[in-house]
Amino acid sequence: MGWGRSLPSRRRSPHVRDMAQSDVHSLDALFGCFADEAKAHAYVRDVRWPDGVHCPRCGHLRCYEIADPNANRLRWKCGSCAKRFTVTTLTPMERSHIPLRKWLFAMRMFAGAKNAISAKELERHLGLSYEAAWFMLHRIREAAIGQVDGKIGGPGHIVEVDEAYQGGKKRGRAGFKFKRGRGAEGKKIVLAMIDRTTRQARTVIVPGISQQQLKAAISQHVHPQSTIVTDTLSSYGFLKKSDYLHMTVDHSSKFTDGIASTNLDESFFSLIKNAIRGTYKSISATHAQRYLDEFTFRWNTSKRTDGERFATAVASGEARRLFYHRPVGAAFAEHPQNDNVLVRPASERKQA
């Protein structure tokens, strides 16, 4: 394949531009817009590079559209590194044999699901094997969580911090159940930190609730000078002598004390609880942080429309590109055989 027509990379079809700007609000609109692969490729181009196509590898702005053996696919050659790329290069969809419009449909389902979507549902909707649906969902999840990054809070911000416990074996399987309250041994502890001003959340699984462990998690995710509201757990005592301002609410007597409350954390934990109960039944310990990140992504984007969240998921491939450059086998090496919910796919290499 030689050089094709050198088109101005900013050119877009009016149809796709309208769609990207408005919203793929309903599934009906989604079907219309992604009726064929060419439209799906044009859509991803516009969402990924709203200001004009640039090289995903070196960021160079001068790229030339070249012919592709697959007529539906758009392809460019970078004017600097001379490498070729498509709209899926360095995204979750790269090198996948699943048609792009199925990927987009899966992402739209992911973005529009109130609680969550299971691989089983996706399997039915898209007519894929369970393994392929599972693989897609995990890759989409990985791309979405790239959006949950950076510290929250800052001077004048109130950050609610609270912890919840997950764990418990269910019918002999090592699954996760969600439970509030302290004292349960062997359970995973989820620490939620939510900025009351921006409503942005960060969640992390902490190894314990000692002062050092909580301090490490909070200082990693919350800006100094934030006002932190916690309950009266003594391990939070370090906050009094730190760069943070500290307020407490005594949960044994009341849940709100003036502006001191951790009600946002309560809402967040109930969202997770509903999602697990309604969709996943239980989530595996191995992937717990990944699921938490998914819920955090949902929470952080809850003010956006389904369509906007969808566009965010489509565009978020860039942030996670290192992940996709790992060999396929490496992504699965971390999955244990006894993973109860996410069964290791046998055919991922063929289908995803």
For 16, 168, 229, the CA distances from 272, given in Å and listed in that order, are 35, 16, 21
Spatial distance between the Cα atoms of 217 and 71, rounded to a whole number of angstroms: 50
Q: Supply the minimum distance, in Å, between the C-beta of residue 57 and Zn ion.
A: 5
Give the residue with the Cβ less far from Zn ion, 55 or 111.
Answer: 55
Give the residue with the Cβ less far from Zn ion, 27 or 66.
Answer: 66
For 147, 203, 293, 295, the CA distances from 300, given in Å and listed in that order, are 9, 11, 10, 8
Q: Supply the minimum distance, in Å, between the C-beta of residue 88 and Zn ion.
A: 16
Kindly identify the residues of this chain, within the stretch 52-111, that bind Zn ion according to CB under 5 A: 55, 57-58, 60, 78, 80-81
Give the residue with the Cβ less far from Zn ion, 45 or 108.
Answer: 45
Spatial distance between the Cα atoms of 155 and 144, rounded to a whole number of angstroms: 28
Give the residue with the Cβ less far from Zn ion, 55 or 109.
Answer: 55
Interface size with Zn ion, residues (CB under 5 A): 7
Token representation of residue 84: 């070729």
Q: Which three-class secondary structure string do you get for 84-128?
A: EECCCCCCCCCCCCCCHHHHHHHHHHHHHCCCCCCHHHHHHHHCC
Which of the stretches 33-41, 47-55, 127-135, 265-273 binds Zn ion when contact is defined by CB under 5 A? 47-55
Which amino acid is it at 122?
L
Give the residue with the Cβ less far from Zn ion, 78 or 116.
Answer: 78
Q: Supply the minimum distance, in Å, between the C-beta of residue 82 and Zn ion.
A: 7
Binding mask 183-202 for Zn ion (x = CB under 5 A): --------------------
Q: Supply the minimum distance, in Å, between the C-beta of residue 76 and Zn ion.
A: 9
Spatial distance between the Cα atoms of 185 and 182, rounded to a whole number of angstroms: 9
Q: Supply the minimum distance, in Å, between the C-beta of residue 77 and Zn ion.
A: 9
- For every residue of 150-189, DSSP letters joined together read S-B--TT-EEEEEEEEE---BTTB-EE-EE-SS--TT-EE
Q: Supply the minimum distance, in Å, between the C-beta of residue 54 and Zn ion.
A: 8
Q: Compute how many other C-beta atoms are within 10 angstroms of the C-beta atom of residue 334.
A: 9
Contact (CB, 8 A) for 172 and 259: no
Burial 299-318 (b: 16+ CB within 10 A, else e): bbbeeeebbebbbbbbbbbe
Q: Supply the minimum distance, in Å, between the C-beta of residue 70 and Zn ion.
A: 21
Q: What are the start-end ranges of the H helices in 191-286?
A: 211-221, 263-275
Give the residue with the Cβ less far from Zn ion, 78 or 194.
Answer: 78
Give the residue with the Cβ less far from Zn ion, 13 or 80.
Answer: 80
Q: Supply the minimum distance, in Å, between the C-beta of residue 1 and Zn ion.
A: 17
Give the residue with the Cβ less far from Zn ion, 80 or 305.
Answer: 80
Give the residue with the Cβ less far from Zn ion, 58 or 330.
Answer: 58
Spatial distance between the Cα atoms of 185 and 332, rounded to a whole number of angstroms: 29
Spatial distance between the Cα atoms of 288 and 73, rounded to a whole number of angstroms: 36
Q: Is residue 273 close enough to count as binding Zn ion by CB under 5 A?
A: no
Which amino acid is it at 108?
R
Q: Supply the minimum distance, in Å, between the C-beta of residue 85 and Zn ion.
A: 8
Site residues, Zn ion (CB under 5 A): 55, 57-58, 60, 78, 80-81
